[in-house]
Amino acid sequence: MKHFDHIVFDVDGTLADTEESVLSSLVQIVQEETSKTLPRHELDFALGIPGKDALEKLGIYSQATLDRWCQVAASFKSTISVFPGLLEVIATLADSGCKLGIVSSRARDEYAKEMALLDRN
């Protein structure tokens, strides 16, 4: 088996199951901005791309809308969980000498705002 020295994990959808939070909050934002209720499956494209890009694809981007989406997403924090067995996998990799890293498709300011909201609740 080939040995890897470095492994990088994405946050959303890899380390943390955030699908419910992302899609439910986006349904609410679309409703607020357009008065339309879109089925969740029509918003699946938003998984794994920056929030700004998702809102632009929907034609509703503004910094205020992105900030509001972060607030709404924080209200769904109870739906976010770490995938089963992940902590054990990370510990095993670290114990084997792998250097581990984390990346996210979220913009730095978007991530910081949402995480700050989660910390306060």
Q: What b/e string do you get for 37-60 counting C-beta neighbours within 10 Å, with b at 16 or more?
A: eeeeeebeebeeebbbebbeebeb
Residue 30 pLDDT exceeds 50: yes
Q: Give the confidence band of 112 by pLDDT, cuts at 50, 70, 90.
A: low
Question: Average pLDDT in the 113-118 region?
Answer: 54
pTM of the model: 0.78
Residue position matching structure tokens 């088996």 = 1
| Predicted confidence (pLDDT) per residue in 38-75, tens digit | 999 999 999 988 899 999 999 999 999 999 998 999 89
